[in-house]
Protein backbone atom coordinates (compact mmCIF):
# COMPACT_ATOMS: atom_id res chain seq x y z
CA UNK A 1 0.00 0.00 0.00
CA UNK A 2 2.81 2.37 0.92
CA UNK A 3 4.57 1.71 -2.36
CA UNK A 4 1.39 2.52 -4.31
CA UNK A 5 1.23 5.92 -2.60
CA UNK A 6 4.85 6.62 -3.54
CA UNK A 7 4.15 5.70 -7.17
CA UNK A 8 1.10 7.97 -7.22
CA UNK A 9 3.12 10.86 -5.77
CA UNK A 10 5.85 10.36 -8.38
CA UNK A 11 3.29 10.41 -11.17
CA UNK A 12 1.87 13.68 -9.86
CA UNK A 13 5.33 15.26 -9.71
CA UNK A 14 6.17 14.29 -13.27
CA UNK A 15 4.99 16.64 -15.97
CA UNK A 16 5.57 20.13 -17.21
CA UNK A 17 7.08 22.78 -14.98
CA UNK A 18 4.52 25.35 -16.13
CA UNK A 19 0.84 25.21 -16.80
CA UNK A 20 -0.85 26.04 -20.08
CA UNK A 21 -1.56 29.61 -18.99
CA UNK A 22 2.09 30.13 -18.03
CA UNK A 23 3.19 29.30 -21.57
CA UNK A 24 0.60 31.68 -23.03
CA UNK A 25 1.82 34.44 -20.73
CA UNK A 26 5.43 33.74 -21.74
CA UNK A 27 4.51 34.11 -25.41
CA UNK A 28 2.64 37.35 -24.72
CA UNK A 29 5.63 38.71 -22.79
CA UNK A 30 7.98 37.79 -25.61
CA UNK A 31 5.70 39.58 -28.10
CA UNK A 32 5.73 42.71 -25.89
CA UNK A 33 9.54 42.68 -25.82
CA UNK A 34 9.76 42.26 -29.60
CA UNK A 35 7.27 45.11 -30.05
CA UNK A 36 9.46 47.33 -27.83
CA UNK A 37 12.52 46.60 -29.96
CA UNK A 38 10.52 47.33 -33.11
CA UNK A 39 9.63 50.72 -31.60
CA UNK A 40 13.36 51.41 -31.15
CA UNK A 41 14.13 50.73 -34.82
CA UNK A 42 14.58 53.41 -37.45
CA UNK A 43 15.88 56.95 -37.42
CA UNK A 44 18.81 56.29 -39.70
CA UNK A 45 19.92 58.91 -42.18
CA UNK A 46 20.19 58.13 -45.89
CA UNK A 47 23.23 60.40 -46.22
CA UNK A 48 26.07 59.62 -43.77
CA UNK A 49 27.15 63.27 -43.83
CA UNK A 50 23.76 64.49 -42.54
CA UNK A 51 22.72 64.04 -38.91
CA UNK A 52 19.10 63.01 -38.39
CA UNK A 53 17.47 64.34 -35.20
CA UNK A 54 14.78 61.67 -35.47
CA UNK A 55 16.92 59.19 -33.51
CA UNK A 56 16.19 61.24 -30.37
CA UNK A 57 12.40 61.01 -30.66
CA UNK A 58 10.19 60.28 -27.64
CA UNK A 59 9.28 56.91 -29.11
CA UNK A 60 12.89 55.68 -29.31
CA UNK A 61 14.31 57.25 -26.16
CA UNK A 62 11.43 56.88 -23.68
CA UNK A 63 8.51 54.77 -24.86
CA UNK A 64 10.38 51.79 -26.34
CA UNK A 65 12.60 51.13 -23.28
CA UNK A 66 9.55 51.33 -21.00
CA UNK A 67 7.71 48.81 -23.19
CA UNK A 68 10.71 46.46 -23.17
CA UNK A 69 11.08 46.68 -19.38
CA UNK A 70 7.36 46.02 -18.99
CA UNK A 71 7.79 42.96 -21.22
CA UNK A 72 10.61 41.64 -19.02
CA UNK A 73 8.53 42.25 -15.87
CA UNK A 74 5.64 40.42 -17.53
CA UNK A 75 7.97 37.50 -18.30
CA UNK A 76 9.02 37.33 -14.64
CA UNK A 77 5.36 37.24 -13.63
CA UNK A 78 4.68 34.48 -16.17
CA UNK A 79 7.54 32.40 -14.77
CA UNK A 80 6.71 33.00 -11.10
CA UNK A 81 2.95 32.43 -11.43
CA UNK A 82 1.97 29.20 -9.75
CA UNK A 83 0.25 26.84 -12.22
CA UNK A 84 -3.23 25.70 -11.35
CA UNK A 85 -3.53 22.06 -10.40
pLDDT digits (tens, 9 = 90+) for 33-44: 999 999 999 888
Res 32 pLDDT > 90: yes
HSE at residue 77, side-chain half, CA atoms within 13 A, is 13
Residues 29 and 82 sit within 8 Å (Cβ to Cβ): no
What pLDDT was estimated at residue 9?
Answer: 52
What pLDDT was estimated at residue 7?
Answer: 55
Number of neighbouring beta carbons within 10 Å of residue 39: 17
Residue 60 to residue 77: CA distance in whole angstroms: 25
What pLDDT was estimated at residue 68?
Answer: 98
pLDDT in tens, 45-77: 788 888 888 889 999 999 999 999 999 999 999
Amino acid sequence: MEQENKNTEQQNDEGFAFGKLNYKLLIIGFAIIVFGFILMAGGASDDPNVFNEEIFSFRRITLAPIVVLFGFAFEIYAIMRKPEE
